[in-house]
Structure 1
Amino acid sequence: MRAVVALSILLGAAAAGCAEEVKAPYDPGVCYALTLPADGEPVFNVVARDQTQIEFCAARLEEMRVRFLRLGGSTREVTGSYQGRFIFVDGRGVSYGSRLDGVRFFALARTGDGRLAVPQAIERETNGLSIIEEQAPPAFPAG
């Protein structure tokens, strides 16, 4: 019985390893929007060319997301790519990753009015103090 379970686990792992991983295109300065159809190949559509930084590509994807919502669309999350990296735009902000299903690096946060900003630039009130104006840690008594 153990041999059958071990064999099925190995076959499942081998089949998962053979699955084709989606790779982001690496065209310098080109920003793509990614469409993942339920039954087909992923499609990368050009959103903008001559983008000098990944943040500019994220801004173009956010602009596209907002325009679709204003036209009556319901898609609140957009996935794109820029020079081999994936960009994820959602309600929290923008994050980057090297794989679709991998770890994401949080890069831009939403401000109170919905704009995108670097997380360190946003002040949030916590116990009457902003994150930037933290109190010094309490001093320990000399002993």
Structure 2
Amino acid sequence: MRRQILTAVIVTTAALALSACEKQITAPFEKGVCFHVATNKDKTLRFNPVARNVETMEQCAATLEGMRIRFVRMGSPNRTLTGAYQGSFIFLEKEGIFLGQTYDGARFMSLVRTGDGRLAVPGAVRQAPPAQ
């Protein structure tokens, strides 16, 4: 009985160690290049340069947001878009823009959408107190 439990613990630990070693998908680091990230049919990622000589991540996000809006105006059903800038991923979602160091890892909010769809720094737009 003890040997079976010990074997199960060793197998579980080995499986967890191997899954932790799984290679994370990272963004390319090309100084000043803003990328659109597309998914290929085989589930690999393709990094298409959209703009060069981009100074900040916010400018890259704005470029990608303009691209997303143009896609929507042309009839695209996809309302989200993924980009990359200098080693970080930029995720344009319904709620706003999120940043992440890996494609599948944690995402952190950078900008939120206001009621009319514009982007703002979180907490910059104050809500009116409820009417009494």
SS of corresponding position for 1:52: coil
Work out the CA distance in 2 between the residues paired with 1:37 and 1:25.
Answer: 17
Partner of 1:103: 106
Partner of 1:124: 127
SS of corresponding position for 2:54: coil
Work out the CA distance in 2 between the residues paired with 1:80 and 1:47.
Answer: 9
Larger radius of gyration: 1
Runs of 4+ in 1 over 6 A off after TM superposition: none
Query: Aligned-pair RMSD on alpha carbons?
Result: 1.8
Tell me the CA shift for residue 38 of structure 1: 5.3
Whether 1:88 and 2:83 are equivalent positions in the alignment is no
Higher RCO structure (Cα 8 Å, ≥6 apart): 2
Tell me the CA shift for residue 24 of structure 1: 0.9
Partner of 2:23: 20
Tell me the CA shift for residue 32 of structure 1: 0.7
Partner of 2:6: 3
**AA paired with 1:10?**
T
**How many pairs were matched up?**
128
Tell me the CA shift for residue 81 of structure 1: 0.9
Partner of 2:70: 67
For normalisation by structure 1, the TM-score amounts to: 0.78
Compared CA separation, residues 37 and 18, structure 1 to 2 (3 A): farther
SS of corresponding position for 2:103: coil
Contact 2:37/2:48 (CA < 8 Å) preserved in 1? yes
Work out the CA distance in 1 between the residues paired with 2:41 and 2:15.
Answer: 22
Deviations 1:102-136 (A, max 9, x none): 222211111111111222321223434xxxxxxxx
For normalisation by structure 2, the TM-score amounts to: 0.84
Work out the CA distance in 2 between the residues paired with 1:83 and 1:12.
Answer: 33
**Identical counterparts, % of pairs:** 41
When structure 1 is superposed on structure 2, of 65-74 and 98-107 the one drifting more is: 98-107
- Unaligned 5+ segments in structure 2 are none
Match of 1:44 among 25, 42, 47: 47
SS of corresponding position for 1:6: helix
When structure 1 is superposed on structure 2, of 21-30 and 115-124 the one drifting more is: 115-124
Work out the CA distance in 2 between the residues paired with 1:121 and 1:108.
Answer: 10
